[in-house]
Amino acid sequence: MHRSEASIGVPNHPGTLLSLLGTDEEVVAFFAGVADLDATNSADYLLEDGVRLASGAQLEQFARAGSGDAFCFVGEGCEERPVVYISLDGAAGPLALGLPELVCLCLVAPWWRDAPGRTVGELQGVAGEYREDVPDLDQRRDRAARALGIDPAGLPSEATVLARIAELSRGPVAEACLVVGLEGEPLDPLFDATHK
């Protein structure tokens, strides 16, 4: 698995990003309040019984959305592990190859959950609506990025991070990150892998 352009500019100091996501005031304000990724009590998060990876590899929840959906690391290691998102609605899929890439996704397109099945024009509308709801989005993003040691000017474009999610939803990464439920049936994919 290769590194993405989306992780450029994100410091790679094992263990530090996750810690900052749960403790730094500016970072928590953006990620929990704007991007809906709460890592403040990661030790308290538990996946639903029976939810696991089809491969048998480790699935470790490290954050959650306000809805209770889970952000999980795949396999063994530190923050470089693939990240999957598991919704309570029965969908799951890879979002990033490592926490730095997920951080970029959330900084650039905190509304990514609304991306599946939408055209580029529709996504621009979603992004516009999100900005109307959070008028200080850019300022909050920039403060969080700087607190993480990231230059906001070096962040990738929305198109880049969304293309990366689509790329990860196909091929070997999606296969390695296949999540199954209690009955052993695969959960629905987060993104339609048939459209490129």
Predicted confidence (pLDDT) per residue in 79-118, tens digit: 999 999 999 989 999 999 999 999 999 999 999 888 766 6
* Cβ proximity of 59 and 83 under 8 Å: no
Report how far residue 96's alpha carbon sits from residue 98's, in angstroms, rounded to the nearest whole number.
6
Look at residue 129 and tell me whether its pLDDT is greater than 60: yes
Q: What is the pLDDT at residue 117? A: 67
- Among 27-36, 42-51, 139-148, the range scoring the smallest mean pLDDT is 42-51
189 inside domain: no
65 inside domain: yes
185 inside domain: no
HSE at residue 79, side-chain half, CA atoms within 13 A, is 19
193 inside domain: no
Q: Which residues contact 121 (CB under 8 A, 6 or more apart)?
A: none
118 inside domain: yes
190 inside domain: no
195 inside domain: no
Say how many domains are in the chain. 1
Q: What is the pLDDT at residue 121? A: 72
194 inside domain: no
* Structural domain boundaries, residue 128: 5-180
- H or E segment to which residue 82 belongs: strand 82-86
